[in-house]
Chains A and B, each alone.
Chain A
C-alpha cells in the first residue's frame, strides 16, 4: 500500500511565524503536490514537483515556497504566516500521469 504521511495533523501558529509542513511518501513516486482545501473551493494547487529539486507553481503560490531535496520528501514553507492561510493542507504523490495518493492532511490555524 502506498503511504503518504504528513508531519502534523493539527498545527496552531501565530501571525508572522515561519511554518514548515512536511510530506513523506514511500513509493518512489516522481510527482508530489501541495494543495489547500477550503469549503466550497475544492482543492487548489499551491506547488508541485516532478523531480528532486524541481518545482513548479500551481494556482495559488503566493505566500508559500517549497523544497524537495530528496525524492521521498516534499516540504511546504509559509515564510510569514497570515490569518488567511488558515486552512487544511493536503499533500499528494503520484507515479506520473496516474492516481494521486493523498496524505491525511494538516489543519493549520494561524492566530
Chain B
C-alpha cells in the first residue's frame, strides 16, 4: 500500500534560519500533498498544500516543492520564529477521502 516517509524526526534550527522537512511517497498515483502543523496540546491544522499539476507553492514564509519524478516533496520555512515550533506532518493522497500520513517532524526553534 501507499507509504509516506518523513525526515528528519526532529529538527533544531536557530531563530531566523531556514528549516526544511522532506517527505517521500511510494504511490506514483498520489496527486495531493498537504502539510499540517500541530502545536503542543493543539489540534493539527493545514498550513499549505500542493497538487501534482504544480511544482512549487508559496505562502509568505512557507513554501512546498514537489518532485513527481523522484516522488518527494518538501516544506521550507524561512526566517524561522519561535511560533514555528511545532510538530509538522506531511501527507499524500490519491483518493477523495484518505490521507496517508508521515510520522511527523518536531521542529525546535532555538532563541
Contact B98 A45 (CB under 8 A): yes
| Best-buried of A43, A96, A99 by chain B (most CB within 10 Å) | A43
CB distance from B26 to the nearest CB of A (A): 14
A64, CB-defined interface residue at 8 Å: no
Contact B45 A58 (CB under 8 A): no
A97-B43 CB under 8 A given contacts A43-B89, A58-B98? no
Contact B43 A31 (CB under 8 A): no
Count contacts on B: residues with CB < 8 A to the other chain: 21
Contact A99 B43 (CB under 8 A): no
Nearest neighbor of A105 in chain B, beta-carbon distance: B43
CB distance from A24 to the nearest CB of B (A): 15
Contact A40 B103 (CB under 8 A): yes
Interface positions of B from 1 to 38, Cβ below 8 Å from A: 6, 9, 32, 34
Nearest neighbor of B99 in chain A, beta-carbon distance: A100
| B44 contact from A40, A58, A94, A102, Cβ within 8 A | A102
Q: Can you spell out 16 A-B residue pairs with CB atoms less than 8 angstroms apart?
A: A40-B9, A40-B103, A42-B89, A42-B102, A43-B89, A45-B98, A45-B99, A48-B98, A56-B97, A58-B98, A96-B96, A99-B34, A99-B49, A100-B99, A103-B43, A104-B43
B positions within 8 Å CB-CB of A: 6, 9, 32, 34, 42-46, 49, 89, 93, 95-99, 101-104
A positions within 8 Å CB-CB of B: 31, 40-45, 48, 50, 56, 58, 90, 94, 96-97, 99-100, 102-105
